[in-house]
Chain A
Amino acid sequence: MPLNPAYRSLFSARTAFPSCSPAGMSMDMDRTPSATQELTPLLRSIASGDRSALSALYERTSAKLYGVVLRLLPNEPDAEEVLQEVYVSVWRNAGRFDEQRASPITWLCVMARNRAIDRLRRRQLPTAPLEDASDVPDDDPSALDRIEAQQDSGRLRTCLDELDERPRAMIEAAFLGGSTYTELAEREGVPLGTMKSWIRRSLLRLKGCLER
């Protein structure tokens, strides 16, 4: 079966500034330590309430984040709304950014993706009772606080390359495009069980490779 063209472009696309992986270690030879050097102080200024820093950060990162959001939410009004939410959230949560754990752009991309996924899946998520104080709010930046900086993002590329083309493309489509198992199975015209076992097997191999 031919590879769905929707996936094929994923790895051929040239990386554009700024790269969404830790400084100087992006997969696509787009080494942008200057991005981190610029963005980290901006986030610090935002945390102290500097609105011009937010504007500067927006100028440098909004096209990248809009690209990330649009992949998940192709409907532009939705994507635009989510992009707004992302920067409002950045304004409020910039103080939580920890450069030891993630590059600024990774942190921002993950935040944008989380917001967009949240919008995509909102109806499927269980609703917790009001009194449940341990409920995780939907703008919970906690996941962002815990993203470990990847020491070697080139490793992912190497490990993905060890997978077969189709499962690899599907893993990318899930992460970037928000495709669920069901959607992937439908798109590829295979039973759900087959799709699950393809991906699970690939994830297992990926894990083995990443931890090698």
Chain B
Amino acid sequence: MSSTPINGRDHAELAAEYALGLLEGTDLERAVELARTDLAFRSAVDRWTGHFAPLFDTVSPVEPPARTFKAIERQLVGPEAGYANDNAVGLRQQLNRWRILAGGSTALAASLAMLLILRPPGEIAPPTTVAGPPMVAMIEGGQGAARLVATWSERDRSLTVVPATVPAANAGHAHELWMIPADGKPRSMGVMPDGPMHATVEPAVAEMLAEGVVLAVSLEPAGGSPTGAPTGPVLASGKLQRA
């Protein structure tokens, strides 16, 4: 990444150029990096995107091929031939369990809803049901002194995360647990309660929780990341390994 100092005026210009899609090469890289790390830059990009959105009015509609919606529906079908919405019941049960663990807090709802998102498209191979010994991840070594131990049992799809040392989040902040599977995209596993966390994981999510998958905890606004991706510093992370 370029270490050239950039002043505020350049940033404002870059944000507009990025929102318009004009950038390539190192300029694009710089903008992507800034959008990741600099809230003011991101807000500027969003403002410009909002400014330009009325341009969509000038786009004429084009009927997509008739087959397209069928193809979309196929991708909504989960590995067990159930639709994502069938998960709503299971999710609610999980939610209740989490609420009990979290002392009745309903603020978890927003981030727990993420679990629904985790179901991968139907084209992913059906889960193999070979359940080995439990896996363990030492989640540590990020900014701050946070240290947690995660235990993952494929057999009953149960995930337990026990904090060993976790500095309390300030008011207005929360610790959010993420998993980063082989595709490199962080998926929220919900906001951490104050004590140990236990959850039964969706089959589709369970499929992704393999050896080598990274679990990480980030600092987020109360209620969890508003964006679905980690927005704050990573407090600790660690890989799942066979116990």
- Where the two chains meet, the residues of A that have a C-beta atom closer than 8 Å to any C-beta of B are 10-11, 13-17, 19-21, 26-28, 30, 48-51, 54-55, 58, 62-64, 66-68, 70-71, 76, 80, 83-84, 87-88, 91-93, 95-96, 102, 105-106, 109-110, 113, 117, 121, 124-126, 128-143, 145-150, 153-154, 156-157, 171-172, 174-176, 178-182, 184, 199-200, 203-204, 206-207, 210
User: Which residue among B28, B116, B228 has the maximum number of chain A CB atoms within 10 Å of its CB?
Assistant: B228
B151 within 8 A of A: no
Q: Are B71 and A84 in contact (CB under 8 A)?
A: yes
B22 partner, pick from A21, A130, A181, beta carbons under 8 A: A181
- Whole-angstrom CA separation of A8 from B69 in the bound complex: 33
Q: Are A137 and B58 in contact (CB under 8 A)?
A: no
Choose the segment among B46-54, B96-104, B130-138, B194-202 that binds chain A (4+ C-beta atoms closer than 8 Å).
B46-54
Interface range, B side: 35 or more
Which residues in A have their C-beta under 8 angstroms from that of B206? none
Known: A20-B54, A137-B185, A180-B22. A83 touches B68 (CB 8 A): yes
- Where the two chains meet, the residues of B that have a C-beta atom closer than 8 Å to any C-beta of A are 12-13, 16-17, 19-25, 28-29, 32-33, 35-37, 42-43, 45-47, 49-65, 68-69, 71-73, 75-76, 83-88, 113, 116-117, 119, 121, 178, 180, 182, 184-186, 214, 216, 218, 226-231, 233-234, 237
- Whole-angstrom CA separation of A57 from B116 in the bound complex: 20
Q: Are B24 and A124 in contact (CB under 8 A)?
A: yes
Q: Are A175 and B20 in contact (CB under 8 A)?
A: yes
A172 partner, pick from B37, B55, B72, beta carbons under 8 A: B55
- Whole-angstrom CA separation of A17 from B59 in the bound complex: 10
